[in-house]
Amino acid sequence: MWSHFVPSHDEWFDQFTREWGEQVGVNVTVDHIDVAGVPARIAAELSAGQGHDLMQYIAPLAQFEPSVLDLADVTEEANNRYGEQLEICRKSSFNPTTGKFYAFGPGWVPDPGNFRRSMWEPVGLTDGPRTWDELLEGGSEIMATQGVQLGIGMSQEIDSNMAGRALMWSFGASIQDENENVVLNSPETVAAVEYMVRLFQGAMTDEVFSWNAASNNQGMVAGKLSYILNSISAYRTSQETNPDIANDTLFVPALEGPETALAAQHVMYNWLVPQHATNPDAAKEFLLHYTANLESAAYHSKLYDFPAWDGLVPNLKAWLEDDPFGSQPADKLAFLADSTDWATNIGHPGPANTAEGEVFGLPIIPNMFARAARGEVTPDQAVADATAEVDAIFAKWRARGLIGGGG
């Protein structure tokens, strides 16, 4: 599993798993690795047919469906105990074409905008940008007058993939439609790419083309960025390392575009049990035990982790309104209580299917934006080239009967 961006979570989790193992007579080993290395590690173990009994990543892993067990039994049992799973989590772990739960999705993380009030106040946006137009106008003025860029990546990493999709959806574009047909090559996608070109030219530098998943966090904590699309992890870090930055950091929900205001979930927990697992029953039992303790996961992640079953963390709203971890003001995070209103799944408006999983695991969308922003190709050509790559991936998975569409 990944090394959590809020380290206190892993301290809790490792002890939690040890105690469970002792109680049920199972030896448990937890291997935390850097988030960027998780998909490759999973792919290698699935290919070799040996390795961990349980694997976890922070984005949908539908592309591994042929090599993992169906976790419908775990999901159904959780639903029986706790009510209906959030749709955003169900769509990120279930393949409607095959009827298989390729993953178990017990939790997720919102992806708000983080901004520095002291930088946005002088440009007339004390409460931060609320639209993509305001981000462009205010971010460009901050860059021109204060010399501080904003941070939306166009790189081969997970946050860049999230941000690019948020921009597309808000402009009315998407990779697929609700029936899993590719619709990437559209005027709406071209308009989103044209916008990103202007945003880069006015408010960013070449750094965003080579970022990793931690770069926007690090830039925000260091005071070098005016705005990022991120969870609250950078904020939690700055509370400990740079309280002045933390107190100056505020949040906004998904930015309003010409069509809507939507953001990708920042994290979507996918837990897999591979076909090679030697202890699948124990792995499934652990997932149910973990689910029963999602309130502890939320608390020890400092309100980073949100549950897929609302009733499992009854104190979440109260904690967000009066942050037990020292936010100033105490209700700084209260707006996150409504985050399901503006968050959606990878694959929107369809499911996170195998094709979307593969596309997300590649830098196709970040590259589409980056090539246009660098002036290598026109926005129209960038979209056409990306569509050709996406079409091939969808055709491959459709030929295997693992996605719908094609009609």
Give the pLDDT confidence score for residue 258 in this predicted structure: 98
Does any domain span residue 1?
no
> What is the average per-residue pLDDT within 240-261?
97
Q: What confidence tier does 406 reach under pLDDT thresholds 50, 70, 90?
A: confident
| Same structural domain, 71 and 177 | no
Give the pLDDT confidence score for residue 273 in this predicted structure: 98
Does any domain span residue 16?
yes
Does any domain span residue 164?
yes
Q: What confidence tier does 395 reach under pLDDT thresholds 50, 70, 90?
A: very high
CA gap 214, 211 in Å, rounded: 8
| Same structural domain, 131 and 238 | yes
Structure confidence by residue, pLDDT tens digits, 157-176: 999 999 999 999 999 999 99
Tell me whether residue 218 is exposed, middle or buried, using C-beta atoms within 10 angstroms of its C-beta: 0 to 12, 13 to 18, 19 or more.
middle
| Same structural domain, 212 and 89 | no
Integer CA distances (angstroms), 250 to 7, 73, 86, 117, 305, in order: 22, 41, 27, 7, 19
| Same structural domain, 368 and 287 | no
CA gap 342, 96 in Å, rounded: 23
Structure confidence by residue, pLDDT tens digits, 368-380: 999 999 999 999 9
Beta strands 263-264; 343-344: pairing state: parallel
| Same structural domain, 33 and 181 | no
Domain end position, chosen among 336, 354, 374: 336
Q: What confidence tier does 334 reach under pLDDT thresholds 50, 70, 90?
A: very high
CATH of the domain at 317: 3.40.190.10
| Same structural domain, 50 and 157 | no
Domain end position, chosen among 336, 356, 374: 336
- pLDDT at residue 339 tops 90: yes
Tell me whether residue 117 is exposed, middle or buried, using C-beta atoms within 10 angstroms of its C-beta: 0 to 12, 13 to 18, 19 or more.
middle
Integer CA distances (angstroms), 196 to 153, 192, 207, 215, in order: 11, 6, 15, 19
Does any domain span residue 341?
no
Does any domain span residue 407?
no
Q: Does residue 332 contact residue 250 with C-beta atoms inside 8 Å?
A: yes
Domain end position, chosen among 310, 336, 362: 336
| Same structural domain, 260 and 280 | no
What rounded mean pLDDT belongs to the chain?
Answer: 97
DSSP, res 255: P
- pLDDT at residue 407 tops 80: no
| Same structural domain, 93 and 147 | no
| Same structural domain, 43 and 179 | no
Enumerate the β-bridge partners of residue 256.
Answer: 131
| Same structural domain, 363 and 302 | no
Does any domain span residue 385?
yes
Does any domain span residue 229?
yes
Integer CA distances (angstroms), 292 to 177, 271, 288, 311, in order: 35, 15, 6, 10
Does any domain span residue 301?
yes
Q: What is the domain range of residue 49?
A: 7-109+266-336
Number of domains composing the chain: 2
- Enumerate residues 6+ apart whose C-beta is below 8 A from 289: 20
Give the pLDDT confidence score for residue 329 in this predicted structure: 96
pTM: 0.95
| Same structural domain, 257 and 353 | yes
| Same structural domain, 243 and 129 | yes
